[in-house]
Structure 1
Amino acid sequence: MGHKEPLLLSQSNVNSAYQKFRRYFRRVFKFEQMDFQFAFWQMFYLLAAPQKLTKVFRARKNFKSQFARDDPAFLILFAAALIITSIGFSLRLSHTFGQFLVFLVLEIFLDCIGVGVIIATILWYITNKFLKPKNLPQDVEWGFAFDIHLNAYFPPLMLLHFVMILFYNFFVREGNFFSIFLGNSVWLAASIYYVYITFLGYHSMQILRKINLFLIPIPLLVIVYIITIFLQMNVSSIVFESYYSNRLGW
């Protein structure tokens, strides 16, 4: 009988991952060592042409023997974007400073990091367990799975925390068919962005099979979108009035 590789990482791989993790976070406060111009470039293409980033992932693997980022510049800029958009969000909703702090903590540690850890861990397990050929020694790195989540989260952040809040009254307060149509379309675009960039991230590894399974949520999202338009359900109003308010009791 052939030998089957266990999914669990060997001790040497665990030590290697731990060393990469330490090196990464040691650089968080060393701004002179970060390439912010390259990080800005990645953010721009995540919005304009996310498929171009697949070449970046492959190049990183060729030059640095890992898919996951080793430069915290993207994380720093991502955190800055999250803070700035949250400030605008709280100003628009007339939050007090205390409410803003609670809102920011929930946005960072629950919505972004907490949900991201869950999604990254589930997809990391599924890709290594079911989509990777058993005879390949290379595994999908958990750090890369979380990187993919951050990449996929950035366009929805810009759409829902920046574009949406600029037109808050139109999308949330108006309630007519045109505002519901446009507002729900923004939510659909944000959701498709997340799914598509997630697909591109795992597709860039070129070792996974049946990778098109990652695109299955897109037609389901379109169906839900059509239903909300038909029933004139204002997704923006439901989310902003319920999720962002009721979860904090405001």
Structure 2
Amino acid sequence: MKYSTSPTPSLNNYPRSTSPLPAPANYQPTVASAAVKRYKYLRRLFKFNQMDFEFAAWQMVYLFVAPQKVFRNFNYRKHTKSQFARDDPAFLVLLCIWLFLSSICFALAMGLGWQKVLLFVLFVVFVDFIGMAILVSTFFWYICNKYLQRDSEAGDVEWGYAFDVHINAFFPPLSLLHCFQILLFNNLLIHKGFLSCFVSNTFWLASVVYYLYITFLGYSNLPVLRNTRVFLLPLPALFLVYLATLGAGWNLSHMLINFYHYRVL
């Protein structure tokens, strides 16, 4: 029988406060190199019997309803395993499966043939998700270590943790834009008019707000960083852009669909 090595995802394990908690003073120092941690992580991608999918699914649910609780578990990992980054790729595997299935549904809703559906799914999974995840994670990892460190001797932000923050923040927008939005696609979003534009662009606004907020929570969770509120600075400008798109009648979902059609031609 396989026993999970992850902590039990019980609400009783966490304090009632919703603000990010300061790091405990007795964190275990990081001893493994980035190459060693990366090798162990990638090796476990092919060992499904060692992955804790139940706990990964719990994290996905709480990224919607209480993302602070997910990042408190990262503190627990640093305390017990001397690293913030996940050592179990179960969350990444579940996210790829979710993205694969939602992309098929999205492509069928656009009326693509099966060959174009396959091409569309390959683009979304390997370019839009994995490729962009590597680029965005590397960018935030560099910015944090270069400009947001409290003390150069306090330690660096792990690249693996930056990757985890990105895929955590990516899951709610994926669900909103590829899953929930698809339920309204043929009945509302595919049509023209203000109502379609309003609903579509509101989905996009909520998605970007979710991404920025979860990214902020992820980096504010690290005791070696300061001024992490910088990740929330785009919010006022984002709302102004949202109002501008409504005033101009720019339906962002229509623009995305046109881009997807152009890509698979």
Give the percent of matched residue pairs that are identical in Structure 1 and Structure 2. Answer: 47
Work out whether residues 171 and 236 of structure 1, in 8 Å CA contact, stay in contact via their aligned partners in 2: no
Matched, 1:27 2:44: yes
Pick aligned residue for 2:224 from 207, 217, 223: 207
Q: Which deviates the most, 132-141 or 104-113?
A: 132-141
Aligned counterpart, 1:187? 204
Aligned counterpart, 2:119? 102
Aligned counterpart, 1:246? 262
* Secondary structure of 2:127's aligned partner: helix
Pick aligned residue for 2:66 from 49, 54, 59: 49
Pick aligned residue for 2:136 from 95, 119, 123: 119
Return structure 1 stretches of 4+ with deviation > 6 angstroms.
Answer: none
**2:263 corresponds to which letter in structure 1?**
R
What do residues 179-232 of structure 1 show as CA deviations (whole Å, max 9, x unaligned)? 211111001000111111111111111221111001011111111001111222
Alignment of 1:57-206 (within 5 A): 57-206=74-223
1: CA distance between counterparts of 2:191 and 2:115? 29
Work out whether residues 154 and 224 of structure 2, in 8 Å CA contact, stay in contact via their aligned partners in 1: no
Work out whether residues 171 and 180 of structure 1, in 8 Å CA contact, stay in contact via their aligned partners in 2: no
Distance 1:177 1:41, change over 3 A: same
2: CA distance between counterparts of 1:26 and 1:142? 17
Q: Which deviates the most, 196-205 or 175-184?
A: 175-184
* Secondary structure of 2:33's aligned partner: helix
The offset of 1:160, in angstroms, is 0.6
1: CA distance between counterparts of 2:57 and 2:170? 15
The offset of 1:136, in angstroms, is 2.6
1: CA distance between counterparts of 2:31 and 2:100? 33
The offset of 1:14, in angstroms, is 11
TM (norm. structure 2) is 0.85
Q: Which runs of 5+ in 2 are unaligned?
A: 1-29
What do residues 85-138 of structure 1 show as CA deviations (whole Å, max 9, x unaligned)? 011112212222221221111111111111111111111111001100234341
The offset of 1:15, in angstroms, is 7.3
2: CA distance between counterparts of 1:165 and 1:138? 43
1: CA distance between counterparts of 2:173 and 2:152? 37
TM (norm. structure 1) is 0.90
The offset of 1:75, in angstroms, is 1.0
Q: Which runs of 5+ in 1 are unaligned?
A: 1-12
1: CA distance between counterparts of 2:71 and 2:236? 23
